[in-house]
Structure 1
């Protein structure tokens, strides 16, 4: 599996284009906006978009979903159903953050812990990792040892939990009990900022390093 990170929106959110090298089928993870930029990347890589994957319902991660659905005619998978209230409130989110209005949408498939999603011949495992939002999911590709973690974990930091239905203790559990057991060597693409590994964060992340107990 190959990937390309595409920073989008004024928040510079990491939208990710994933594709299967054999079939050239692709998925876009968290199309927060700047759809023309995303479509240009798809064309440059010569891949065929077959689905949209969402980690959670915040505007900077889902704001371009409806437009991309309409322009490419592809289904949406994710997040977990507990984030429906965030998607239903896209109008309010746009007003809150000073964004132009975007269309709401209904995912074709809500995801749950233990589900899998297909991108061509490649399989991504779904982990439900609440805390930043109640319905946040993470996508993990075992063969590439790669995780797309949205706003759960960052290089040197963790997701905010001061939004409605955020839960700091739950977020810490999600990281330590769901993500870190995948292995120190696993690379992860966060929702914002540079990539890192779970091992590096266990060593030095001030919020979840092993030394914090």
Structure 2
């Protein structure tokens, strides 16, 4: 389907996703679309925009928006430039991450990544929905990795985009500005685990997983583990 190097394709029911690792952090930028409409969104374009645009062209998706799960440089660094190139709005994250988005250029210099500050066209809050083609994603505000991290869930398709909240076998780091370990574990246990074990998810780094697999095997979610 896509010839861009190192792109992984993820399929659940009518949901299609191309996972495009970008930046030196190998962040999972995700091109998400509906198989029925071929309309979609770019989620977390941290950088390497040439790779992202090549994937869009090769797959033939009509991108309607950019979505940010949170404000860290590897997820949001390329958002302003991609918005201008595609002429589409940006939705997310929660406004609690405004301070991170405002400082993207400064943060990027520290990592050797070109970035520009960006202000979303729409901040997301708990209970909002986001449309991607004919897909409707519920918004969960899941602070901890960053104050404004959001998770996008399709209850009907049993699928989620979780950003850096939860990984296969791990959870998001909390030693960056605004991080809170107890809040992160609370977000996962109170908002993600109740979604159901059959929920498949794409995370911000590394391989995909399911809620059930992480409930059973993730060491950070066993007992009363906190960090």
TM-score category of the 2 structures, normalised to the smaller one = over 0.9
1:92 maps onto 2:94 in alignment: no
Alignment of 1:1-213 (within 5 A): 1-99=15-113, 101-210=114-223, 212=225
> How far did 1:210 drift?
5.0
The 3-state SS of whatever aligns with 1:171 is: helix
Q: Is the 8 A contact 1:203 1:210 kept in 2?
A: no
**Cα distance in 2 between the residues matched to 1:179 and 1:170:** 13
Q: Deviations over 1:161-200 (max 9, x none)?
A: 1111111000000000000000011111110000011111
The 3-state SS of whatever aligns with 1:207 is: helix
Q: How many residue pairs get matched?
A: 212
> How far did 1:91 drift?
2.1
The 3-state SS of whatever aligns with 2:220 is: coil
Q: Which runs of 5+ in 2 are unaligned?
A: 1-14
**Cα distance in 1 between the residues matched to 2:206 and 2:80:** 25
Q: Which runs of 5+ in 1 are unaligned?
A: none
Task: Output the aligned Cα RMSD.
Answer: 1.3
**Cα distance in 1 between the residues matched to 2:186 and 2:138:** 19
> How far did 1:24 drift?
1.4
Q: Is the 8 A contact 1:202 1:210 kept in 2?
A: no
**Cα distance in 1 between the residues matched to 2:57 and 2:109:** 32
